Amino acid sequence: MLNNIFLLLRQELTLSVLIFLLLFIKLGRERSNSSILNFVNSALLINLTIGLVLSAKGELFSGMFSTNTLMILEKNILNLAVLIISMQSYVWLKNHNQVIEFYLLILTSLLGMFFLISSGNLLIFYLGLEMSTIPLAAAANFDLLKRKSSEAAMKLILSSAFSSGILLMGISFLYGTSGTLTFSILTAHIGNNPLQIFAFILLVSGFAFKISAVPFHLWTADVYEGAPIAVTAFLSVISKAAVLFTFVSILYKVFQPIASTWYLILMILAVVTILIGNLFAIRQDNFKRFLAFSSIAQVGFILIGISGSSIAGSASLIYFILIYVFSNLAAFGVVSVVSALTGKENIADFKGFYKTNPLLSWVLTIALFSLAGVPPTAGFFGKLFLMMSGAAKGNYGIITFAALNMVISFYYYLRVVKAIFMEENETPIEKLSIPILSKIAMYICVAGILVTGLASVVYDYIYSLSFGL
């Protein structure tokens, strides 16, 4: 039993140990920021490695917690993303007074996500979700002297409390109609019972809040703009990824009996999400708001992929998230370095960026091309495979819609590329010296963007682990 706990829970345990260590370091004598940062980054690297070494499959606590190779992979993706974000925020955190608190918050949130992914019961699912959200609201407030930052935190906590309320209501209806909270038993009780459909809609709304699908996206742009970039990156990549992983597994496993109902709901959500995300992204001037709306549009594509409800559906979701981690974090990495060193965050500030910072420009360009889905970057494969699995049900209308929306999204990504390469600026961003950790993080992202797509092994591996209806 004990062995089993150590094996199955090892990612969660490592993370908990790390959190406690940080607490003790905080209690001890004052240390310099850079030594703390070096320690945390190496610890996160070890954390990632521990997740990579062994695969295991099993259940704990009478089915409350379950894990398998796929979930371990999902957690590894999140671990990797946290490591990258941590390396990228080096510049910002080096001069921050509360470094350890920042890590405590985001690592606790990550721990919550791990339990969320591994949940086998609606209770632990809810606990995981809350544990992952509440620390983030505090982290969003981490630019302590900026009013926008605390506004962002307020908006995040209010909207997530609201969405949790809706989610809880859905859960309680489900419990009322089926008498159980365990996923594996729940499936047998799901039918086209109106109250259950209603419960399901509430549940989906709760999820839609977390992944900021339209019409539940209103908090996104403000929070992304106000929060420090590291937290924005965390919110837009990691927290979305964790919720999406859970969403697809709950849809495919628990709500499998009403697949035809949720197929329709997903379609409607996908269409409005892509459209609104795209149309609003066109008009943004602030880079973080821009990435917020572009990430809303990306979620729309993900929903299309999930709606295919085949093995290819969940495989393409996980594959896309992996790519999304690399591409979005590469973009956020550049923006965070620029913002930390110059305080500039608007797209217009990036005019003429190539003349002074060619390396950063290329990283940003490759990232944006990957987000837009241009070959040979991985984003091309990711988006195409999502659309392919969406088309598997013969729904060509939505594929046409999505394909044409890719063109719209192409416009606003190119707008940034245009600013970087082709436009003149009287006060361009001066040549920045990039700290080595940020540089490594960027190289990892770019390598990921170039390799994940062309090397089919990655997709085939994910496919071999995935599940479908």
Partner 1 sequence: MNLSLLILVPLITALAILFAKGLQQIRVIGLVGAITQLGLAIWLLKLYMGEKATGNKAAHLFESNYTWFTTLHINYHIGIDGISLAMILLTAVIVVAGILVSWTMDKLSKEYFFLLVLLSMGAYGFFISLDLFTLFFFLEVAVIPKFLLIGIWGSGNKTNSAMKLALMLMAGSALVFVGLMGIYYNTNTFDIVKITQMGISVGVQMFFFPFAFVGFGIFAALFPFHTWVPDGHASAPTAASMFLAGISMKLGGYGCLRIAALMPEAANAYSWIIITLATIAIIYGAFATMMQTDLKYINAYSSISHCGFVILGIGMMNKTSVNGAVIQMVSHGLMTALFFAAIGMIYSRTHTRQVAQLGGILKVMPFISTVFVIAGLCSLGLPGFSGFVAEMTVFMGSWQNPTGAYRLATILSGASIVVTAVYILRATGKTIMGPISNEHALLADATWNEKLAAGLLITGILIIGLAPFLINQLIMPTTNILMSPITKAITLK
Contact positions toward partner 1, by CB under 8 A?
311-312, 315, 369, 374-376, 380, 384-385, 387-388, 391-392, 394, 396, 399-400, 403-404, 406-407, 410-411, 414, 417-418, 421-423, 456, 459-460, 463
Residue whose CB is less far from partner 1, 63 or 468: 468
Instruction: Please report the DSSP string for 276-340 in residue order.
Output: HHHHHHHT--BHHHHHHHHHHHHHHHHHHHHHT-SHHHHHHHHHHHHHHHHHHHHHHHHHHHHHH
Three-state DSSP at 201 gives: helix
Burial class (CB in 10 A: 0-12, 13-18, 19+), 114: buried
Which residue in 78, 227, 80 sits closest to 142, CA to CA? 227
Closest separation between CB of residue 446 and partner 1, Å? 13
Q: Which residues contact 427 (CB under 8 A, 6 or more apart)?
A: none
Closest separation between CB of residue 253 and partner 1, Å? 21
Structure tokens at 406: 């890719």
Residue type, 436: I
Residue whose CB is less far from partner 1, 175 or 421: 421
Structure tokens at 388: 């392919």
Residue whose CB is less far from partner 1, 116 or 387: 387
Three-state DSSP at 67 gives: strand
Inter-axis angle of helices 99-118 and 69-88, nearest 10: 160
Residue type, 239: S
Closest separation between CB of residue 366 and partner 1, Å? 10
Residue whose CB is less far from partner 1, 163 or 377: 377
What are the contacts of 32-40 at 24+ separation with CB within 8 A? 33/93, 33/94, 33/95, 33/96, 33/99, 34/94, 36/99, 36/100, 37/86, 37/90, 37/93, 37/94, 37/99, 40/86, 40/99, 40/103
Closest separation between CB of residue 284 and partner 1, Å? 17
Residue whose CB is less far from partner 1, 194 or 394: 394
Residue whose CB is less far from partner 1, 135 or 305: 305
What b-and-e string marks burial along 214-237, b requiring 16 or more CB atoms within 10 Å of the CB?
Answer: bebbebbbbbbbbbbbbbbbbbbb
Closest separation between CB of residue 295 and partner 1, Å? 20
Which residue in 279, 307, 312, 304 sits closest to 293, CA to CA? 279
Closest separation between CB of residue 350 and partner 1, Å? 14
Tell me how crowded residue 348 is: count the other CB atoms within 10 A of its CB. Answer: 12
Closest separation between CB of residue 370 and partner 1, Å? 12
Closest separation between CB of residue 182 and partner 1, Å? 32
Residue whose CB is less far from partner 1, 191 or 375: 375
CB 412 within 8 A of CB 330: no
Which residue in 133, 4, 129 sits closest to 66, CA to CA? 4
Residue whose CB is less far from partner 1, 264 or 422: 422
Closest separation between CB of residue 409 and partner 1, Å? 10
Residue whose CB is less far from partner 1, 28 or 394: 394
Tell me how crowded residue 401 is: count the other CB atoms within 10 A of its CB. Answer: 18
d(CA 252, CA 271): 20
Residue whose CB is less far from partner 1, 342 or 400: 400
Instruction: Please report the DSSP string for 84-143 in residue order.
Output: HHHHHTHHHHHT-S-HHHHHHHHHHHHHHHHHHHHB-BHHHHHHHHHHHHHHHHHHHT-S
Three-state DSSP at 191 gives: coil
Closest separation between CB of residue 308 and partner 1, Å? 11
Closest separation between CB of residue 404 and partner 1, Å? 6
Residue whose CB is less far from partner 1, 137 or 315: 315
Residue whose CB is less far from partner 1, 374 or 440: 374
Closest separation between CB of residue 297 and partner 1, Å? 15
